[in-house]
Structure 1
Amino acid sequence: MTSTPRSRRLAALATTTALCAALPLGTATAALVTDPVQTSAPGAAIALAPVGTYETGVFDESAAEIVEYYAAGERLLVVNAAQAKVEVLDASDATAPTKLFDLQTTGVAASDGTTVDAGAVANSVAVREDGLGVIAVEADDKTDNGWLVFFDAAGDGAALGAVRVGALPDMVTITPDGSRAVVANEGEPAEDYSVDPEGTVSVVDLPASVSAPAQSAVRSAGFHAFEGAALPGGIRVYGGRVDAGTGTPTYPVSENLEPEYVAVDQQSRTAYVTLQEANGVAVVDLRSASVRDVWSLGTVDRSKVPFDASDRDGVAIRTYANVRTFRQPDAIVAYQVRGATYLVTANEGDTRDWDGYSEEVRVGDLGKNGLKPACDAVRAGDGFANVGRLKITKADGLNAAGTCYDTLYGFGGRDISVFTSDGTLVSDTGDQLERITSGTAGVLFNSDHGTSSADNRSDDKGPEPEGVAIGKVNGRTYAFVGLERVGGVMVHDVTDPARPQFVTWVNNRSFAANGSSDLAAAGDLGPEGITFIAGDDSPTGRPLVAVGNEVSGSTTLFDVTKAVRRGR
């Protein structure tokens, strides 16, 4: 989950509070769009149909990010980062989810003697089958340690207690067996890089009852064992306090690695944690609460896998010599096939772009303002004249002499990948996401999520696949992926990990409207969190998919239907 800058959250908080106060509980301010964008593969077994939505009425302030479902109470739990809270929605009528109350996070006394401060921000939520819920809460100063706040999902919003975890707890999940909570503590630096906390993963042993654990139940997995030469190849370590000129850390690797998202295997023994900016995955042994391994996600070779690299050329999906992009997934999920664990990643891309240090440059700026130039062979390579607008990193790609860039590294795979549990790439979707979105009627290709404008994300990270959920329907296993920028949910059949098959894409968005000026007509903008609700747990008795949309501030439920045998 890409973090929303704290300054932006706090600046908007007073405004959004006033806006939301004007709305009675349960009020939705916008309907589903009348004609959602949809296309399906020939012979697709399923499709998605938007059936109900809840709107906060707050635009572009992360008012609906992560969404979780509590089956016994037919409740949706939605992180509203704009107001630093988690909203509880009654989803018993899937066509009209309504707000019940907010979960308490600030002012809660923690087991270590601290209190969740008034400026704390809710980042993530998870719930156990019996109703024990947990919220990852970031401190007012994000470089301070945060908390996990516990609650009863069947209750009225009162907190059960809290424990202290690492800096900027960004994503929390509960193991399939319900025995532990696992939280990725991102440890982002201060904007000026005066402080850069170590990234860690907290493992919390949970009580059997619906109650808060003690602080002694918290253990921390860090990266000290991977300092220096012990760090595996391919893991990006860059842009820390040394590059910012603000200090020399004792543990530079540990400060540099920033855990983002957690998946847990079916046996509840191992967690797989994305290190998004570093382009890696940490493998955490949950019994010992230690990082057992770190492996690289590799890069996409753009001389073989086409993409659109410019925001000024319309739809131009093509190959480029000497260009690679880091996969850098946000969300990751684990599933099992014939006893083996596989990992599905949504390869969004992310950068280090702070006041104290920024890695972002455009290809066309190489050789200017103190930047090293592209090497002659790169400049003479196929497609170089058309790649000048692409955003790349200045931290990677220099030749051995350090005199010029012999490889241009961009951000984000713009695809969905399947890996084995030891980091072997099994399959990916290549250029499929951009091909599908560019060839579907009614779509503005690579549009941003706040305004409707074609091609304006091609130079950056394209459609940005971000959230991913796994679900089984009629014996088949599907990956449901939210495309953060252009919008919608892309579905692939991953029953065979080696051959993911596109099934359908639906986008509850009207490209005829600009969200910034016409929120009510725009539909869903900026899908962030996504969860699959099995038919046995669903209020309708049919599978549902719930999506939190951070830009439109909407939470939308999609019914998993039998496919209509047509495309558009």
Structure 2
Amino acid sequence: MSHATKSHPLSLLGRCLSLAFAVGLSACGGDGGDVKGSFIRSATFPICAQVGSSCESSDETAAEIVAASADGMTLIYTNSPREEIGFVDIRDPAAPVALGRLAMGGEPTSVAVRGAVALVAVNTSPSFTAPSGELVLVDIATRSVLRRISLGGQPDAVSVSPDGRYAAVAIENERDESVNGGQLPQGPSGRLVVVDMVGAPSAWTTRNIALDGVNSLFPTDLEPEYVDINRDNVAVLSLQENNHLALVDLATGTLRGQFSAGSVNLSGIDLMDNRPALISQVESSADIRREPDGVAWLSSSRFATADEGDLVGGSRGFTIFNTDGSVAFSSGNLLDSLAARLGHYPDRRSDAKGNEPENVDSARFGDEQLLFVASERSSLVFVFDVADPTRPVFKQALPTGQNPEGVIAIPSRGLLVAASEVDDRSILTRAGLSIYRYTVDATPAYPTLQSADRADGSPIPWSAMSGLAASPTEANTVFAIDDSFFRASRIFTLDVSARPAVIRQELRITDRNGVLAATPAADAMTANRATTFDTTDRAAMINADGTVNLDSEGIAIASDGGFWIASEGAGTVVGETGRPVTSANMILKVGSDGVIQRVIRLPEAVDAIQFRFGFEGVAESNDKLVVAFQRAWNGEGNPRLGIFDLATSTWRFVFYPLEAVTSPNGGWVGLSEVTALGNDEFMAVERDNQGGPDARIKRLTRFSLAGVADGATVTKTLVRDLLPDLRAAGGQVVEKIEGATRLSNGRVLIVNDNDGVNENTGETLLIDLGRLF
């Protein structure tokens, strides 16, 4: 049976979203009504806090699937790398407390709760061809094992029925991806285990359901992936690689129904992984298998699937099915489009599965029936009102840790929890549990920035925000730039009067008049490069259509119109042979039309000691440009502040005194921004290169250049410690505060760079600090 559907960006849902984002709203109400409630992130619990209270350990952890105790006061999560489960006290959702860990004797793959007992599915397989596993029953209060039940195969998911009568365990017996390219069939086939939970846990019994008669793509290798149970004790199983769904009556152990998950036709999506990135959601693809992963019942007659894909599919969305196999709703390109609008689109996954929905859950909060879709690659949970399952209404998007795997609603306490599995201290990502509280009539705290539509109705795609510059005449207009993660560099116009702020326009920087192309080489750059800015460099920097690929790190308003852009150089002249110089540090004068008018280079003697941490911010003051170098060059004690006299076209340099490194993870401290305050006074962003529990230095400082001699070091004063502001967002502290500016009305804004959602959650915090001066 085929269930192919077309995407529908111009449906009622699409029009509502377009209008909402165009006017700066974060949601659309069902049937034109008001939004009844919103989720606000209360806290994020880093799993590394179970290993060491200050997360000083670099040992890999994870939080994959999460469940809650019956009273909603304790979270239980699976930690596959450490073969254990963990417990977290959330009596105060804003201050979760570690309760300890429990070894499972194998890889825990899922957890569910029945009363005082946690049911943990554990993979104990010695090999793919000899799968084995257990259902481990754990006393939640004492955090001790009550019983181990052999499952006779590798389990992937466990679910408990609403009445507590049954548990269902999906026995996947997963394939070996190194065999035959991971193609199916690869026996033994999977099945379903039903646990009859009558009496004490010691008396519980199991039944094997062979799923005979399931007519999927590979009937000899079913590989059930996920399972959920409705109030009629019917389980729905996703057979992901088979692109199939099966319904099982748990009381009788019989097949209630089965059908193909079908395929979709998508338009308005990006199918190419460009490097540097270029998000272009204008392509189409036909007959894409859904290949659903997570499933969740909305009622006894409808359920939702997260259509992640695995073998050849992945429709980048979610589907609501009727139990007869017909499609009540298919989201089309909606999630990819939303991710682009919110700065969370993972362009490096464009050639694969885009935002890649991983899991779903559904529950009633107040008067609202809600669906939660966890997007693995965009690190978001999308929230939809599904009062009418045939016409879901988008409410909001919630930022998570990197790669959310599990999501659970706890409506009895008004809470939602997302579990994120990626944990790598070297890339500043720690696995965690994100906890959100449902609050009636609250204004969503996220996103802080989103985009309006282009002329064709698609959202302006953005990410990797870098420098900021406030309009001197319009109190609520700010200009921003993206960095080298993206090709075809842009200047964005932000309306910061809205909440969230809105990117209204994008302006491509171009070399239409050949000014950049004619910039001469710096002959002194010879130690790690024959020359610089040669034909190869120009080919990489200037595109055929005249757009340019810069590493735009700073932006300032030019007093005579247009902008100054600070472009950071790439590569090191001396000391890092593996990082040859491929571009130099430059200041570019760009007209209000985006056309480059002038290129300013460093003196050759300074170019000759280039270190890869170069220009970060630029400011104009008193007919001079001031540019901040991120770190010290050539063994100098501190980074330079370059001062370029526009009248004489000459340079001079002073130094900025950095704080010492204090993070337990080491790293460095550098400058990220400089902003003119008037009267030779400037504001700077000083930060370390650490995030999460390891972050220590995120600061705004102030310094003066008045009377500072060439080669001298400026005196700085602390304006604001930004760590409390960053922690107030409820997530893990973001690393790269890259932009700061002061509006004409005195308010100060800061923004972080989300690295283009590459090894990053994609979270962007544009924070209004109020008047600081």
The interval holding the TM-score normalised by the smaller chain is 0.5 to 0.7
Query: Do the aligned partners of residues 262 and 44 (structure 1) sit closer, same or farther apart at CA in structure 2, a change above 3 Å counting?
Result: same
Query: Do the aligned partners of residues 192 and 438 (structure 1) sit closer, same or farther apart at CA in structure 2, a change above 3 Å counting?
Result: closer
Alignment equivalent of 2:258, drawn from 282, 294, 303: 294
Conserved in 2, the CA contact under 8 Å of 1:61 and 1:81? no
1:375-414 to 2 correspondences below 5 Å: 393=312, 411-414=313-316
More strand by share: 2
Whole-Å separation in 2 of the counterparts to 1:467 and 1:62? 20
Aligned residue for 1:349, secondary structure, equals coil
What corresponds to 2:435 in structure 1?
A: 557
Whole-Å separation in 1 of the counterparts to 2:393 and 2:271? 25
Counterpart of 2:225 in structure 1: which amino acid?
E
1:94-493 to 2 correspondences below 5 Å: 94-106=93-105, 120-128=106-114, 130-143=115-128, 144-154=131-141, 156-191=142-177, 193=179, 196-209=187-200, 211-214=201-204, 217-226=205-214, 231=215, 235-237=216-218, 253-254=219-220, 256-268=221-233, 270-302=234-266, 305-312=267-274, 314-320=278-284, 323-336=286-299, 340-351=300-311, 393=312, 411-440=313-342, 443-445=343-345, 447=346, 455-493=347-385
Conserved in 2, the CA contact under 8 Å of 1:166 and 1:202? no
CA displacement at 1:563 relative to structure 2: 4.3
Whole-Å separation in 1 of the counterparts to 2:308 and 2:341? 21
Counterpart of 1:203 in structure 2: which amino acid?
V
What corresponds to 2:68 in structure 1?
A: 69
Query: Do the aligned partners of residues 166 and 475 (structure 1) sit closer, same or farther apart at CA in structure 2, a change above 3 Å counting?
Result: farther
Aligned residue for 1:436, secondary structure, equals helix
Counterpart of 1:83 in structure 2: which amino acid?
R
CA displacement at 1:167 relative to structure 2: 1.9
Query: Do the aligned partners of residues 277 and 480 (structure 1) sit closer, same or farther apart at CA in structure 2, a change above 3 Å counting?
Result: same
Conserved in 2, the CA contact under 8 Å of 1:55 and 1:554? yes
CA displacement at 1:125 relative to structure 2: 0.6
Largest Rg, 1 or 2? 2
Query: Do the aligned partners of residues 191 and 469 (structure 1) sit closer, same or farther apart at CA in structure 2, a change above 3 Å counting?
Result: closer
CA displacement at 1:161 relative to structure 2: 0.7
Whole-Å separation in 2 of the counterparts to 1:74 and 1:56? 17
Whole-Å separation in 1 of the counterparts to 2:232 and 2:279? 44
Conserved in 2, the CA contact under 8 Å of 1:342 and 1:420? yes
CA displacement at 1:319 relative to structure 2: 4.3
TM-score (norm 1): 0.66
Whole-Å separation in 2 of the counterparts to 1:418 and 1:213? 37
Conserved in 2, the CA contact under 8 Å of 1:76 and 1:88? yes
- Identity across the alignment (%): 30
Query: Do the aligned partners of residues 207 and 131 (structure 1) sit closer, same or farther apart at CA in structure 2, a change above 3 Å counting?
Result: same
Whole-Å separation in 2 of the counterparts to 1:327 and 1:433? 14
CA displacement at 1:296 relative to structure 2: 0.5
Aligned residue for 2:242, secondary structure, equals coil
CA displacement at 1:166 relative to structure 2: 3.9
What corresponds to 1:364 in structure 2?
A: none
What corresponds to 1:113 in structure 2?
A: none
Residues 1:526 and 2:399 aligned together: no
Whole-Å separation in 2 of the counterparts to 1:544 and 1:284? 30
CA displacement at 1:498 relative to structure 2: 0.8
Aligned residue for 1:306, secondary structure, equals strand
Task: Extract unaligned runs of 5+ from structure 2.
Answer: 1-24, 49-56, 181-185, 423-429, 445-498, 502-773
Aligned residue for 2:353, secondary structure, equals coil
Alignment equivalent of 1:46, drawn from 31, 37, 48: 37
CA displacement at 1:490 relative to structure 2: 0.5
Whole-Å separation in 1 of the counterparts to 2:72 and 2:383? 27
CA displacement at 1:173 relative to structure 2: 0.8
Aligned residue for 1:225, secondary structure, equals coil
Q: Deviations over 1:420-448 (max 9, x none)?
A: 112110012221111111112xx242x2x
Q: Deviations over 1:308-334 (max 9, x none)?
A: 11112722223436x321111111111
Counterpart of 1:138 in structure 2: which amino acid?
N
Query: Do the aligned partners of residues 474 and 444 (structure 1) sit closer, same or farther apart at CA in structure 2, a change above 3 Å counting?
Result: closer
Q: Which has the higher relative contact order, 1 or 2, with Cα contacts under 8 A spaced 6 or more apart?
A: 1
Conserved in 1, the CA contact under 8 Å of 2:192 and 2:211? no
Whole-Å separation in 2 of the counterparts to 1:444 and 1:417? 21
CA displacement at 1:51 relative to structure 2: 0.8
Query: Do the aligned partners of residues 189 and 148 (structure 1) sit closer, same or farther apart at CA in structure 2, a change above 3 Å counting?
Result: same
Aligned residue for 2:213, secondary structure, equals helix
Conserved in 1, the CA contact under 8 Å of 2:301 and 2:323? yes
Conserved in 2, the CA contact under 8 Å of 1:68 and 1:126? yes
Counterpart of 1:137 in structure 2: which amino acid?
V
CA displacement at 1:463 relative to structure 2: 0.6
Aligned residue for 2:158, secondary structure, equals strand
Counterpart of 2:145 in structure 1: which amino acid?
A
Query: Do the aligned partners of residues 533 and 141 (structure 1) sit closer, same or farther apart at CA in structure 2, a change above 3 Å counting?
Result: same
Q: Deviations over 1:145-201 (max 9, x none)?
A: 2110112222x2211111111422000011111011100011113455496321101
Moved more, 457-466 or 186-195: 186-195
Whole-Å separation in 1 of the counterparts to 2:72 and 2:309? 36
Query: Do the aligned partners of residues 62 and 196 (structure 1) sit closer, same or farther apart at CA in structure 2, a change above 3 Å counting?
Result: farther
Conserved in 2, the CA contact under 8 Å of 1:46 and 1:504? no
Conserved in 1, the CA contact under 8 Å of 2:192 and 2:210? yes
Whole-Å separation in 1 of the counterparts to 2:262 and 2:297? 19
Whole-Å separation in 1 of the counterparts to 2:176 and 2:351? 27
CA displacement at 1:258 relative to structure 2: 0.7
Counterpart of 2:93 in structure 1: which amino acid?
A
Whole-Å separation in 2 of the counterparts to 1:60 and 1:298? 41
Residues 1:503 and 2:395 aligned together: yes
CA displacement at 1:292 relative to structure 2: 3.7
Whole-Å separation in 1 of the counterparts to 2:163 and 2:170? 19
